[in-house]
Each structure stands twice: as C-alpha cells, then as structure tokens.
Structure 1
Amino acid sequence: MTARTLAWTGFIAIAAFVLMAASRLTLLDPVENLTLNITSPVQAVLRDATRPIADWVNNLTDASGLSRENKTLRAENERLTNELARAREDAVQQQNLQDLDSVRRQFPNDTFLAASVVSRDSSNVRSIVAIDRGRSDGVKEGMIVVTEGRSLVGTVTKVLDGNAWVTLITDPKSAVSALVQESRAEGVVAGNYNGSLNMEFVGQGAAVKQGDFVITSGVGGGYPPDVVIGRVSAVQKTEQDLFQSVHVDHLASLTNLDRVLVLMSFEPQRLEKP
C-alpha cells in the first residue's frame, strides 16, 4: 500500500467519524433545514401541479364504479318493472276470465260438432270461412258456430256434402241482435268491411262503457241468447245523433281461426211478423 492510498483511507475514516459525531450532536440540522427549505417549495409546486391529475384519476375510478352500479340498478329496476307488469297482467286476465264466466252462456244440454277451418275468403268484401264438416255430418244452414271458448263466430250459410261455409259476424252482411250485459241496453252488432264490429241502434241514454260485455239477446230467433260476442272497446256520443256509436272487439281473432264448434242442438227460428 502506497503512502497516497494510506492518506486517502485515513481521510475517509476521519470524515466518516466527524459526520457521525455531527449527526449525534445535531450539527447538521441547519444543513437539513436548508435542504428542506429549498426542496419543500418545489415539492409543493409539484404536488399542486399533479393534484388535478390524481383527482381526475380518482374521479374516473369512482365514476367507473358508479357507472357499473347504475347499470346494475337499472337492470334490477327493469326486471322488477317487468315482474310487476306481468303480475298486473295476470291479475287482469284472471279478472277477465272471472267476468267472462259470469256472462258466458252455459251449454249444459247443448251438443257441438268440432270442425277445422280449411279455407278463407281472400277478398276484403266478405268475411267467410269453410269448415271440414257438411251435410253428411248433420250440418244445416242457419246453425250457429262458436269458438272453442264459446264466443260467437257466425252462422252456417251454405252446406255441401263434406264442407260448409260460415259467414262470420264481422261480415258486412251480418247482423246480430245483442245487448250490453251490464246495463241490458239493446242494439244490433253489425260487421264492417274492415273486419271490425259496431253495435248499432243503442240509444243516447243507454249506459254503455268501455269493457262491458256484449252478448246475444236471442231476439228474432236467429241466435240463442247469452252467447258472448265481445267487449265494448270505445263509445262515442254526439248531440246531433240519435244513437251512440259503440265499437266492439271480438274476444278471439277471427282472422286466425283454426278450429270451431258447430252448435248442433240449436234450431234457429226465423220469426215472421204476423
């Protein structure tokens, strides 16, 4: 080891000893304070400059969490809303069935012949269908046809050996004596070219409201009484008119009939004036 190396080694050892002693005797506090005084403002500036970025990152993280939470809440709200709507619809349908059972004609002694619809009139002028039952099955002109739910469909107007044509109540030539089940207001349900139903000749003073059942009255002998035709969908009154305008919706879709029942035990009576 050279003299220069020994000198440097000794200097480093002495310097280390002095620094350790100064640290214990707090001789370096002014130096530390000076360093802090110099660096603190710089750190404060850097901290203030970066705070918006940090806040933005934190807000972004919070917003992302809130977005996920809101999405979850919206999905849950939609699910609960749908469940409530289904529950309300079930309640309405149940009430409708109870109401329908209270007004539907009971057929304890009647006999029916099931039939399938095999053809439909393709024009917009007539509302008629053909069924796969005819003269050989005992079907006769004037017999009443109903749905499987016992709502009125129409009447048999032409009979062949193995088939028959049924004129629907929505046909423009159809007219059925009817009454409003709740108020007993009488009128005539007639078909239209657009396939809708109107109850005509209902007096302005008659109590008719939306949702009322319309049933056959049996007047005239062409139809048995108490067969459900439909429900009132709208009522219009004007002072200058003698009668109300009552719109009726059929309980089934007559444009999509697949199966029907022919009422075999009812013989229509065409009453003639004396």
Structure 2
Amino acid sequence: MKPRTSGSVVRLAAPLRALAQRFSFLLLVLASIALMMVGKIDALSVDNARARVTDAFAPILDAISRPAATAAHVVESAVEVRNAFEENQRLKAENARLLQWKQAALRLEAENTSLRSLLKATPEPPSTYITARVIAAPGSSFLRTLVVTAGRRDGVRKGQAAIAGAGLVGRVVEVGEWSARVLLLTDINARVPVVLEGSRQRAVMAGDNSDQTKLLYLPPDAAIQVGERVVTSGHGGQFPPGLAVGVVSSVGERGVRVQPNVDLARVEHLQLVDFNMPGAETEPSHETK
C-alpha cells in the first residue's frame, strides 16, 4: 500500500509544481509591486523593517568577512616580509660595496700622502664656508641669480663658490653688508672651466638662461658620452679642481648640453665656500675705525 500511496502523491504534486513554475515570474512581479506600494504607503515601516533585516544579517556578514580580512592581512604580511628580506639583501650588498670603496679610499689617501711627502708638494690652502638661506630666487628670463642672507659682516667675499649639496651652484658676484647675490651656472654671463671626468676632455661650461648649460671650445672629434660627469678643472684660479657641476644630458646639433647636479629652482640653502684660490676675486675688508 505504501508504494501506491507515494506514487499517487507524486502524481498530484506534479501539476502543482508545473503550475508554480509557470506563474513564478508573475508572482515575483506582483510581490515586487506590492512591496513598492507598501513602501510608498508606509515608508517608515519599510525603513524600520530594512534596518532590522540589516541588523540581523550584520553579525553574519561580519563573521564571514573576518576570515577574508585575516587572510588578506596574512598575505600582506607575507609580502612585506619578502620585500623586507629583499631590501635587507640589497642593503647588505650595497654596504659591502661601500666598505670596499672605503678601503680603496683609505689606501689611496695614504698613498697620496706618502707621494706628496716625497715630492714636497705644496698643500692646498684650507677652505672655510658660511651657510646662508636663499631669500630671493630668479625672477626674470634674463637674469639667473639668487640672494642669500649673508654678507660682508659674515665674511662673504666676491668670487666665493656657492655649493648646495650635490654640487656647484654658482659664485658670489655682489656683496652687501647683510646679503649677497649669487650668479648661477645657468646665467648667460656664467663661464666655468670644466673637465669631463671620463674622457678628461677640457672645455668651458657656459649658461644661456635655460635650465641647462652648454660646453664650449670642444674639439670636433671629441668623444663625449651622455651621462658623463662634468667637474671643475681648476683652470683660471676661480674654483679648485674636482667640484661636481653636472652630467652630460645630450650630444647633438645643439652641441653638448649639461644638466646641473642641483635643481637651481628649488635651492633653499647655500654654502658660500672660500677656497682661498690665488686667482679668485677678492674684495677689501671694511673695518670700522
């Protein structure tokens, strides 16, 4: 009897299931319309019901999100550990290279001292410097200068080198009692004897009131490479040799262009260095009697 009863139940349920499937879409549409009408009629009740549903599901959603957040945190921590390990390895390698350079520098310093003592070379005069703050930047396309808060009372003299961190910026051209004016390397009136560090080719670096400088008096067959460092040559007695100036940025029809080491538009502090060069401009001291 049981198998026959179950078979009759299935035969009776089949038409009902087919009817439900046929009208399910219509029922859903009617339910949606009913909910919209209820929301229009009593919006406060709908908002309260929605808030209660949200409150009911919030703990469930929070519980579901915690494993995902934990997994994301674990993955992020693993990535940070890997990056820290790679950075540590890089710093170790860089430290080892710096130690090698330090040993080489110490060895060369000792060798240089020994050779100077054998040759009885004249030692270079000691240099002094003054740190000053820039209070006025270039304000014209025809003038590339800076004004600094140091003057004659601080020991500033015409011809002193102006240095900012990575290299030479220019030289002092005007000195007042409380301030001084520095002519930048990019000014059209600036001329600096330089040498290219790689090829040892000598030239004169000249400004043209642009953001870069150019090299003059190079031989036509000079093999200049982009990226070659440019330093002062020491000729003319204006600056000592070896001061970093810039890097060759381009070689072409416009000539050899040099990108200064220092962003001259963003200089905030300068060191006015007196190298006590015999050919440098000097200004008599004014003593109060």
Q: Common fold, TM-score beyond 0.5?
A: yes
Shift of 1:46: 6.3
State whether structure 2 residue 9 is matched by structure 1 residue 35. Answer: yes
SS at match of 1:162: coil
State whether structure 2 residue 280 is matched by structure 1 residue 236. Answer: no
Within 5 Å, give how 1:215-254 maps onto structure 2. Answer: 215-232=231-248, 234-238=249-253, 245-254=255-264
Shift of 1:227: 0.4
State whether structure 2 residue 127 is matched by structure 1 residue 153. Answer: no
For residues 28-47 of structure 1, what are the alpha-carbon distances to aligned partners after superposition, in whole Å with 9 as ceiling and x for unaligned?
53343233245347647967
The structure-2 alpha-carbon separation of the partners of 1:45 and 1:263, relative to structure 1 and needing over 3 Å to count, comes to same
| Residue number in structure 2 paired with 1:127 | 144
Alignment: residue pair count: 203
For residues 186-205 of structure 1, what are the alpha-carbon distances to aligned partners after superposition, in whole Å with 9 as ceiling and x for unaligned?
22222222332223444454
| Residue number in structure 2 paired with 1:195 | 211
For residues 22-79 of structure 1, what are the alpha-carbon distances to aligned partners after superposition, in whole Å with 9 as ceiling and x for unaligned?
xxxx2x53343233245347647967998xxxxxxxxxxxxxx9xx99xx69x96xx8
**CA contact under 8 A between 2:239 and 2:275: conserved in structure 1?**
no
For residues 164-190 of structure 1, what are the alpha-carbon distances to aligned partners after superposition, in whole Å with 9 as ceiling and x for unaligned?
221111111111111221222322222
1:209 and 1:264 map into 2 onto residues whose CA distance is 32
**CA contact under 8 A between 2:226 and 2:250: conserved in structure 1?**
yes
**CA contact under 8 A between 2:227 and 2:247: conserved in structure 1?**
yes
SS at match of 2:239: coil
**CA contact under 8 A between 1:217 and 1:224: conserved in structure 2?**
yes
SS at match of 2:236: coil
TM-score (norm 2): 0.55
Percent of paired sites with the same residue? 24
SS at match of 1:220: helix
Within 5 Å, give how 1:130-145 maps onto structure 2. Answer: 130-145=147-162
The structure-2 alpha-carbon separation of the partners of 1:177 and 1:40, relative to structure 1 and needing over 3 Å to count, comes to same
**CA contact under 8 A between 1:143 and 1:156: conserved in structure 2?**
yes
Q: 1:172 aligns with which of 185, 188, 192?
A: 188
**CA contact under 8 A between 1:144 and 1:266: conserved in structure 2?**
no
TM-score (norm 1): 0.58
Within 5 Å, give how 1:71-90 maps onto structure 2. Answer: none
**CA contact under 8 A between 2:188 and 2:207: conserved in structure 1?**
yes
Shift of 1:221: 2.3
More helix by share: 2
Aligned AA (1:247): R
Structure 1 gaps, min length 5 = 1-25, 51-64, 239-243
1:119 and 1:218 map into 2 onto residues whose CA distance is 29
Structure 2 gaps, min length 5 = 25-64, 110-123, 281-289
Shift of 1:215: 0.7
1:48 and 1:225 map into 2 onto residues whose CA distance is 95
Aligned AA (1:209): Q
State whether structure 2 residue 276 is matched by structure 1 residue 266. Answer: yes
1:48 and 1:124 map into 2 onto residues whose CA distance is 82
1:223 and 1:206 map into 2 onto residues whose CA distance is 24
Shift of 1:246: 2.7
Bigger radius of gyration among the two = 1
